[in-house]
Every structure is written in structure tokens, then in C-alpha cells.
Amino acid sequence: MVTSQPRPSPGRLRLSAREREALQLTASGMTPAEAAAEMGVCTSRVNDCLRYASAKLHSPERPGAVHRVYLLGAISPPEHTNDGVDLVPSTGQHEVLRGLAGGQDLGWIAANRRVHVDVVRGDLRALMALVDARTTVHLIRRGWELGLLGPTRNEVSNPSTIRSSG
């Protein structure tokens, strides 16, 4: 599904250093509490940074915010690894991954697939185990590392278009 939404350009996107750091640490698999300890701040400060960054990125869900920040180049995306060459996510798992990357929550993904949210939760758990992701935000990073996510030709050529399948 392709939806047109205005997206900030990298030059207009103004993430603070703390917002970028909070996004990077949570994308690496840390919980907000772990990121707070690393940053030397309280957990509520990390959650605030993530909320502000998500708002600036026009993505209410954290996994979608991380995907967008990678697409916009505000944070360098992880390099591809070869440790997932034999990974083949199911269609449902791939739809969950693309939905989360597109900023959707599990309820929306379930409704779009016309399945119960428990089916989507099961696909999510199986996918996280498959790619060794600790959190849904870390799942986005792992998706980029394994080549399951990344800019599509459409996203590269037309930055005002968000591409997500669901």
C-alpha cells in the first residue's frame, strides 16, 4: 500500500543529539531503562526524547520512527550482514515487519490483514525469534541489517511517498 504523507527532508529534520542517541540506543536493542543508564539520564527523559523524535518524524510508533530516521539519513542505517542469508520470514511475518516499519501498530496490521490481533502477535514473536531481536524497535534495525528492510526504489526516487505493505 502506498500512501502520500509529507515527510521532513533530512535538512529540515531537527533531532536533538539526545533524541538521536535515544533512537540509536533503543534501535540497538536496549530498553529505555538501559538506554537511560547508558546516557546518564532518567528513563522518563529517554521516553520523552523518543516521543519528541517520533513526533518530528511523523510516526507515533517507535519502530516506524527508527525506520524513517534511517530512510532520511538522520542516523546512519546499519550495514547489511550476511548472518541471515538463510532467513525466510513467512508472508505474515514480513507483513508485520513492513507494517511496523510503516509506523503501524499491531491492531492496524491485524485489521489490514483481516486476522485477529493474536495472529499478528504470534507472527511478531516468531519473527523476533527468527531474527534475534530483543524489542520491536530492535526488530527494525535487524530488518535493515538482514536486508529485509531498506529504501525501495520508490522511496529513494520520491521521498514524499511512504511504502508499506500490509
Residue 85 banded pLDDT, cuts 50, 70, 90? low
CATH topology for 2-72?
Arc Repressor Mutant, subunit A (1.10.10)
Show the cell assigned to 109: 496490521
Q: Rounded distance, CA 144 to CA 114, Å?
A: 27
CB 140 within 8 A of CB 77: no
- The CB density around residue 81, as the number of other CB atoms within 10 Å, is 12
Report pLDDT digits (tens) over 3-61: 444 454 545 678 999 999 999 999 999 999 999 999 999 999 999 999 999 999 999 89
**Predicted model pTM:** 0.81
Burial class (CB in 10 A: 0-12, 13-18, 19+), 152: middle
Domain boundaries, the chain: 2-72, 91-163
Give, in words, the CATH class of 91-163: mainly alpha
The phi and psi torsions of 84 (rounded to 5 degrees) equal -120, 25
Do the domains 91-163 and 2-72 match in fold?
yes
